[in-house]
């Protein structure tokens, strides 16, 4: 009897050892298959020119998920061969663990693919180029859609993993069964988040703003630095950051200076005396602008836009390729026009006139006011 028990125990240990060796060999084979697959992908992408922007990012980001996924799939495929050698509890634990690793590996692979596409698009379309309207449009759409897709992948993968384990499945069923008041509270709490998500999708499709757009929000001038599903970061000219909810750009008015193109027309106002020679000032404006490195060669002009009881208002306009260049051009025009008037026509600077007569002249004395 003792001999039969010992033989049975030895047989069990031998079967367990064989099962362990088979599963270990399958994992080792999976590691070798991963190395071969990675080398194959590298050689295939090297041959196709259209994959060049995507090749480096995809190969770099796919190493992690493939290093887990390929060996796990090999072990999962070898599991039926050793099923008879394992107890029911060990089988269930092993199968649940392998399924979890497969789900995690697939989700990680999908996330790696999304990030690789975003990285390749950012490399292909440079937003730092002078004429970057198309690049900003494509990069903005890619970033927002990547964030939406990544959120969906994480949520779905998390749900599948939790469904593999009975305690969590029962907990989820109990929460769903008692969802009366809790469901209403969660729905009200999530309303803002859902609104932000819908606003993010709307901005990705309609694109009232893009990455690197020049905007004026909350009275500040800046550039759109980052667009997420819930907020937008605007980099102000003095290096501050304004963080706004993404719904602000759907519900509130704002200025977008680069909606259709980056070039802009700027204005400079001068308040001068009636004696100023407008034609001479107009000629000087043309000379200043044509000699400036900031002008794009498109628009320049000088007009009298108003005349009050004391001064006239002259508006100088000029164009530049983008907002920072236009700012420098406006400052240059303002400085040089004022210097020109002060040097050549000082009498045309704003002055307050008064006529003072003797009391017997029949004219009223000017009021002290």
Q: Write out pLDDT tens, residues 206-240.
A: 788 888 888 999 888 899 988 887 889 999 988 89
pLDDT of residue 3: 43
Mean pLDDT across 130-150: 78
Confidence of residue 96 (pLDDT cuts 50, 70, 90): confident
- The yes-or-no verdict on residue 31 having pLDDT over 80 is no
> What pLDDT score was predicted for residue 367?
43
Which tens digit of pLDDT belongs to each residue from 38-57?
677 666 555 554 455 666 67
The model's pLDDT over 249-297, given as tens digits with 9 standing for 90+, comes to: 888 888 888 887 778 888 999 999 988 999 999 999 999 999 999 999 8
Question: What CA–CA distance (Å, rounded) separates 145 from 152?
Answer: 11
CATH number of 264-348: 3.30.70.100
Closest to 210 in 3D by CA, of 118, 143, 279: 143
Give the per-residue pLDDT at 238. 87
Residue ranges of the chain assigned to CATH 3.30.70.100: 264-348
Question: Stretch 182-209: mean pLDDT, rounded?
Answer: 65
pLDDT band, residue 344 (cuts 50/70/90): very high
Q: Please tell me whether the overall predicted TM-score, pTM, comes out greater than 0.75 for this model.
A: no
User: Which pairing describes strands 300-307 and 231-236: parallel, antiparallel, or unpaired?
Assistant: unpaired
**Residues 53 and 16: beta-carbon distance below 8 Å:** no
Task: Report the C-alpha gap between 84 and 18 in whole angstroms.
Answer: 11
Burial of 82 (0-12, 13-18, 19+ CB in 10 A): buried
The chain-wide mean pLDDT, for the chain, equals: 76
Q: Which of 82-91, 96-105, 146-155, 188-197 has the lowest mean pLDDT?
A: 188-197
Q: In terms of pLDDT, which residue wins out, 47 or 120?
A: 120
What's the pLDDT at 280?
A: 93
As a whole number of Å, the CA-based R_g of the chain is: 36
Tokens representing residue 357 in the block: 């007569």
H helices of the chain, where?
Answer: 2-47, 52-78, 88-124, 133-162, 166-177, 180-206, 248-251, 278-291, 323-344
229 CB contacts (<8 Å, ≥6 apart)? Answer: 144, 147, 148, 151, 196, 197, 200, 246
């Amino acid at each position: 009897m003792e001999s039969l028990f010992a033989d049975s125990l030895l047989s069990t240990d031998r079967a367990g050892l064989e099962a362990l060796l088979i599963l270990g060999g399958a994992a080792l084979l999976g590691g070798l298959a991963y190395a071969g697959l990675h080398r194959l992908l590298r050689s295939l992408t090297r041959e196709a020119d259209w994959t060049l922007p995507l090749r480096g990012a995809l190969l770099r980001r796919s190493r992690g998920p493939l290093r887990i996924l390929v060996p796990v799939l090999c072990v999962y495929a070898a599991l039926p061969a050793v099923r008879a050698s394992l107890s029911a509890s060990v089988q269930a634990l092993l199968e649940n663990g392998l399924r979890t690793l497969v789900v995690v590996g697939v989700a990680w692979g999908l996330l790696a693919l999304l990030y690789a596409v975003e990285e390749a698009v950012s490399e292909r379309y440079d937003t730092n180029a002078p004429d970057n309207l198309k690049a900003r449009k494509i990069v903005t759409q890619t970033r927002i859609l990547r964030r939406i897709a990544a959120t969906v992948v994480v949520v779905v993968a998390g749900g599948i993993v939790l469904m593999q384990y009975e305690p969590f499945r029962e907990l989820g069923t109990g929460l769903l069964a008692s969802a009366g008041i809790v469901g209403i509270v969660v729905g009200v709490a999530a309303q803002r988040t859902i609104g932000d998500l819908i606003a993010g999708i709307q901005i990705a499709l309609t694109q009232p703003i893009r990455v690197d757009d020049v905007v004026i929000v909350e009275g500040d001038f800046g550039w759109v630095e980052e667009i997420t599903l819930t907020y937008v970061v605007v980099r102000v000219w003095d290096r501050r950051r304004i963080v706004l909810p993404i719904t602000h750009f759907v519900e509130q008015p704002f200025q977008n200076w680069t909606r259709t193109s980056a070039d802009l027309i700027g204005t400079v106002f001068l308040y001068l005396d009636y004696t100023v020679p407008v034609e001479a000032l107009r000629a000087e404006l043309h000379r200043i602008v044509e000699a400036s490195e900031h002008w794009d060669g498109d628009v320049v002009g000088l007009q009298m836009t108003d005349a009050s009881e004391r001064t006239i208002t002259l508006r100088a306009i000029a164009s530049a390729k983008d907002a920072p260049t236009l700012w420098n051009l406006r400052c240059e025009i303002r400085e040089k026009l004022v210097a020109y008037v002060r040097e050549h026509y000082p009498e045309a600077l704003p002055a307050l006139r008064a006529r003072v007569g003797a009391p017997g002249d029949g004219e009223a004395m000017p009021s002290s006011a």
